C-alpha cells in the first residue's frame, strides 16, 4: 500500500507541474483519464487517487457526471511549492544517467543476440509509436517504454531484466521535468524520437553494431547532456 501511496503522490506532483507549465485555465477539463494513465504509466486506480489528492488541495474540482476541471488556485503558491523539488530533480538526473549508461553499454550485445522473435517485438513498438504519433491524440509513453524494454529484454540477461523497471520509472520522472505529453500534444521533438526508434531498430535488424551505437547515442544524448538541448522555455528536448 505504501508504494501505491508514493506513486499516487508522485502522479499528483506531475499533474501539478503540468497545470503550471501548460498554463491550464480555471474551468478547463483535465485530459481524459485513459490518456493520463497511459502517459504516466500508472493504473487508473492510482490516477484517481492522485486526482482525489488534487481535489483535496483545491487544485481540481470534481462535479457529478463531468470530467475533473481545473480550479481557480493560487499559482504563485503552487509554483513556490514546486520550486522546493529542486533537490528531487537531482535524483531524477541520476536515475536518467543510470538508464542511459545501461542502454548505451548494452546496444552492441543487443545487435549480436536479438533473435527474430526479439526483432518482431522491437518492431512492434516502433510501429505502435509511429501509429500513435499519427493519431496525435494518444500518449507516446507506452510505445516509448515498450520499445526500450524490448531492446534490453532481447539480451536474455536476468540482471538486466531486473533493471527494466528503471525505464518505466525514468519515463514517469521525465514527465515531472517536461509534462507536455499529458495533454496529448505531439511535438516535433516527439516525432524525432519516434524516427530515431525506427533508425535504431533498422540498425539492430541489419546487425550493424557501429550504426546502432551511433543511433542510440544520438537518441539518448539529450538525457546525458541536457544543457545542449534546452528550449526557449527552459525545458529539455527529449
pLDDT in tens, 165-221: 877 676 666 666 666 667 666 778 888 999 999 999 999 999 999 999 999 999 988
Domain assignment of residue 132, yes or no: yes
Which of 82, 104, 126 is the last residue in one of the domains?
Answer: 82
pLDDT at 194: 93
* Range in 17-21, 44-48, 54-58 the model is least confident about: 17-21
| pLDDT bracket for residue 234 (50, 70, 90) | very low
What average pLDDT does the structure give for the chain?
Answer: 83
CATH number of the domain residue 45 falls in:
1.10.10.10
Is there a domain that residue 94 lies in? yes
Decide which of 31, 62, 82 is a domain's last residue. Answer: 82
Shared domain for 149 and 48, answered yes or no, is: no
Position 191 in a domain: yes
| Residues near 80 by beta carbon (within 8 Å), at least 6 away in sequence | none
Number of domains, the chain: 2
* 182 and 222 part of one domain: yes
224, 100 contact by CB (below 8 A): yes
Whether residues 103 and 217 fall in one domain: yes
Residue at which a domain ends, from 82, 114, 134: 82
Query: For residue 50, is it within any domain?
Result: yes
pLDDT score, position 238: 47
How far apart CA 173 and CA 10 sit, in angstroms, is: 9
Domain co-membership, 154 together with 219:
yes
CB within 8 Å of 145: residues ≥ 6 apart = 41, 167, 168, 171
- Rg of the chain over Cα atoms, rounded to whole angstroms, equals 19
The pLDDT, as a whole number, for residue 40 is 83
- Would you say residue 21 lies in a domain? yes
Reported as a single tens digit per residue, the pLDDT across 87-130 is 566 666 777 788 888 899 999 999 999 999 999 999 999 999 99
238 within domain boundaries: no
Can you give the pTM of this predicted structure?
0.71
Domain membership of residue 172 as a residue range: 85-229
CATH of the domain at 213: 1.20.120.530
Task: Categorize the per-residue pLDDT at 4 as very low, low, confident or very high, splitting at 50, 70 and 90.
Answer: very low
Amino acid at each position: 500500500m505504501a508504494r501505491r501511496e508514493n506513486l499516487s503522490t508522485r502522479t499528483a506532483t506531475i499533474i501539478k507541474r503540468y497545470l503550471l507549465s501548460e498554463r491550464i485555465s480555471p474551468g478547463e477539463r483535465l485530459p481524459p483519464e485513459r490518456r493520463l494513465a497511459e502517459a504516466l504509466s500508472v493504473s487508473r486506480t492510482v490516477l484517481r487517487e492522485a486526482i482525489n489528492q488534487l481535489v483535496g488541495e483545491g487544485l481540481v474540482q470534481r462535479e457529478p457526471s463531468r470530467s475533473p476541471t481545473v480550479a481557480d488556485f493560487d499559482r504563485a503558491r503552487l509554483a513556490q511549492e514546486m520550486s522546493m523539488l529542486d533537490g528531487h530533480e537531482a535524483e531524477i538526473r541520476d536515475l536518467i544517467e543510470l538508464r542511459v549508461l545501461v542502454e548505451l553499454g548494452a546496444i552492441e550485445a543487443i545487435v549480436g543476440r536479438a533473435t527474430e522473435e526479439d526483432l518482431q517485438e522491437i518492431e512492434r513498438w516502433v510501429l505502435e509509436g509511429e501509429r500513435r504519433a499519427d493519431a496525435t491524440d494518444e500518449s507516446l509513453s507506452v510505445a516509448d517504454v515498450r520499445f526500450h524494454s524490448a531492446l534490453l529484454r532481447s539480451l536474455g540477461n536476468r540482471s538486466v531484466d531486473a533493471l527494466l523497471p528503471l525505464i518505466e520509472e525514468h519515463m514517469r520522472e521525465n514527465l515531472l521535468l517536461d509534462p507536455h505529453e499529458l495533454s496529448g500534444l505531439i511535438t516535433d521533438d516527439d516525432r524525432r524520437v519516434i524516427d530515431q526508434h525506427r533508425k535504431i531498430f533498422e540498425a539492430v535488424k541489419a546487425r550493424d553494431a557501429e550504426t546502432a551505437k551511433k543511433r542510440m547515442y544520438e537518441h539518448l544524448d539529450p538525457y546525458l547532456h541536457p544543457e545542449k538541448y534546452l528550449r526557449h522555455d527552459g525545458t529539455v528536448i527529449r
